[in-house]
């Protein structure tokens, strides 16, 4: 049935239902595409860096593969797969100015291990040998188990962030932004420097708020309180 559809020129998309239940059909379709190319690279022993097999594509190229998504939506889907622990990103491009992201399976992702344990248990590892089933190392963490009883502990609320900075690349929650405003008089200047440096060097952080707190702002000094300007009357001596 599937082969017949492809022979008739009908483009088919596939996804893992368990992943779709967790992060939505869009993310599940994208994940299946990334997994497909990683499996090909494993079979061909290609794109192996830092003990991982990788695949790469630009947001623009992905949006052409999936014409029903805009570029912005494609970017959000890829970011959510990374944030939710399904994939991790890297940069192994030949030229430093090339910012095309590379993607590998994130076996350290907590939710990824829980949901993907069965379908991905037999993927070969970096040595070309069959891997053992992925151990469930998250028995005491907030995980979603679709194959057994739901955890008694409530899931940790997902960070809802907004983007800031000139390059719209600094992600902060409302509470985190309020803390920065209370901590720094010159929080706007620091945030803009951070945004510019992230864009310039292609830095990626799991939590921009924590990165901001540890960032070195050598060129920024807190604003001094404005002094009261003297007036003409102030200059007249009292007699």
pLDDT at residue 112 in the model: 52
Place of tokens 């992230």: 198
Predicted confidence (pLDDT) per residue in 209-224, tens digit: 888 888 877 544 444 4
pLDDT score recorded for residue 99: 83
13: left (phi over 0), alpha (psi -120 to 50) or beta: beta
Distance CA(22)–CA(152), nearest Å, equals 18
- Residue 49 pairs in a beta bridge with 52
List the chain domain ranges: 2-154, 159-229
What is the tens place of the pLDDT at every residue in 79-127? 999 988 889 999 898 887 888 899 998 876 555 555 555 444 444 444 3
State the alpha helices, DSSP H only, in 46-126: 59-65, 71-83, 110-116
The confidence score (pLDDT) of residue 160 equals 86
pLDDT at 65: 87
Low-confidence ranges of the chain (pLDDT < 50): 1-2, 118-151, 219-226, 230-239
Reduced to 3 states (helix: H, G, I; strand: E, B; else coil), residue 170 is strand
pLDDT for position 18: 85
Residue 85 is predicted with a pLDDT of: 86
Q: What is the pLDDT of residue 154?
A: 55
Contact 120, 85 (CB under 8 A): no
* CA pair distance 108, 105, nearest whole angstrom: 9
Between CA 128 and CA 134 the distance in angstroms is 16
User: How far apart, in whole angstroms, are the C-alpha atoms of residue 63 and residue 170?
Assistant: 23
The predicted structure's pLDDT at residue 51? 86
pTM of the model: 0.46
- Residue 102 is predicted with a pLDDT of 92
Contact 148, 117 (CB under 8 A): no
> Which residues does residue 52 pair with via DSSP β-bridges, in sequence order?
49
CA 110 – CA 86 distance, rounded (Å): 9
């Amino acid at each position: 049935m599937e082969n017949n559809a492809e022979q008739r020129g009908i483009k088919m998309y596939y996804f893992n239902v368990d992943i779709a239940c967790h992060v939505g059909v869009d993310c599940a379709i994208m994940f299946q595409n990334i997994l497909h190319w990683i499996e090909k690279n494993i079979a061909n022993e290609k794109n192996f860096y830092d003990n991982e097999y990788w695949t790469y594509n630009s947001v623009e190229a992905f949006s052409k593969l999936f014409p029903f998504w805009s570029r912005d939506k494609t970017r959000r889907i890829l970011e959510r797969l990374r944030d939710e622990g399904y994939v991790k990103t890297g940069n192994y491009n030949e030229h430093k100015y090339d910012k095309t992201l590379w993607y590998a399976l994130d076996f350290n992702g907590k939710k990824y291990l829980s949901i993907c344990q069965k379908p991905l248990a037999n993927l070969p590892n970096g040595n070309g040998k069959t891997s053992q089933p992925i151990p469930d190392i998250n028995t005491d963490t907030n995980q979603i188990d679709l194959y057994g009883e739901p955890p008694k502990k409530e899931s940790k609320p997902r960070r809802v962030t907004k983007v800031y900075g000139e390059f719209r690349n600094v992600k902060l929650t409302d509470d985190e932004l309020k803390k920065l405003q209370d901590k720094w008089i010159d929080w706007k200047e620091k945030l803009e420097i951070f945004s510019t440096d992230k864009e310039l060097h292609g830095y990626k952080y799991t939590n921009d708020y924590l990165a901001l707190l540890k960032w070195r702002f050598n060129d920024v000094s807190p604003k001094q309180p404005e002094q009261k300007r003297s007036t003409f009357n102030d200059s007249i001596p009292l007699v």
